[in-house]
Amino acid sequence: NAGVTQTPKFRILKIGQSMTLQCTQDMNHNYMYWYRQDPGMGLKLIYYSVGAGITDKGEVPNGYNVSRSTTEDFPLRLELAAPSQTSVYFCASRRQTDTQYFGPGTRLTVL
Amino acid sequence: LAKTTQPISMDSYEGQEVNITCSHNNIATNDYITWYQQFPSQGPRFIIQGYKTKVTNEVASLFIPADRKSSTLSLPRVSLSDTAVYYCLVVDRSGGYNKLIFGAGTRLAVHP
């Protein structure tokens, strides 16, 4: 199993641009999560999903959108990128009561 | 969700045992204590999880007293590769969304 994969690894955006961060897991996990991590800080939950077709907001959802059309994929959409969204983004997944498995992250810079 | 408190940073030397204590005064009955490790430029990685008393795996031990208001992660004989940030979290494993609340973690620096 590849586990949780994220693309791209790095991206630079201009203010106002949009992009989609991709996350895919091949472990047939129902639960998936998106976090952001600012320098020197812990992770903050953006959105999560308990299964295909079901998503909900986390701590810091403003400026982001998600969708979950399949069990495997959980893309994170940034509309109108702002410098405050400069961060490292981590996707994670888990089974029902198991621990979370994290992807390698996407480093995003908004200039 | 229970809040956790842990030291911001710790220093150690190769071969020593490192103990990182975490307090979680308002832990709930269904909460488990979980520790993650994060290396620079990587996502967090699960280390160990426990409910009470002692749990040991190939990486670490976790000590939880009877009142469960604190816990201690023990790393035996650390090496330079154990330099990382360690996060203590309490997780409700009774079902539901299993939202993890990360604090700033403890930055462990292991010196030669």
For chain A, the domains span 4-110
Question: How sure is the predictor about B2, in pLDDT bands with cuts at 50, 70 and 90?
Answer: low
Give me the pLDDT at residue B20, please: 97
pLDDT beyond 70 at A70: yes
Fold of B9-111: Immunoglobulin-like (2.60.40)
Q: To 5 degrees, how large is the angle CA B42–CA A44–CA A58?
A: 130
Compare all CA atoms of chain B with the CA of A46 and give the residue at the minimum distance.
B99
- pLDDT of B97 > 70? The answer is no
pLDDT score recorded for residue B68: 93
Mean pLDDT, rounded, of chain B: 90
Please answer yes or no on whether A31 and B46 come within 8 Å at the CB atom. no
Contact A103 B34 (CB under 8 A): no
Contact by Cβ (8 Å): A90, A5: no
Q: What is the model's pLDDT at position B26?
A: 83
Cα angle, residue B2 at apex, residues A76 and B42 outer, rounded to 5°: 40
pLDDT tens track for B21-68: 999 888 888 788 999 999 988 999 999 999 999 999 999 999 999 999
- For A45, list phi and psi in degrees, rounded to 5: -80, 130
Residue B40 with chain A: CB contacts under 8 Å: none
**Where are the domains positioned within chain B?**
9-111
Please tell me the predicted confidence (pLDDT) of residue A110: 96
d(CA A75, CA B8): 33
B43 and A50 within 8 Å at the Cβ level: the answer is no
Taking the Cβ of residue A92 and every Cβ of chain B, the question of whether any pair is shorter than 8 Å is answered with yes
pLDDT for res B95: 56
Mention the CATH class of domain A4-110.
Answer: mainly beta
Position B4 pLDDT exceeds 60: yes
Distance in angstroms between the alpha carbons of the first and the last residue of chain B:
38
* pLDDT class of B103 with cuts at 50, 70, 90: confident
pLDDT digits (tens, 9 = 90+) for A4-49: 999 999 999 999 999 999 999 999 999 999 999 998 888 999 999 9
Q: What is the pLDDT of residue A55?
A: 95
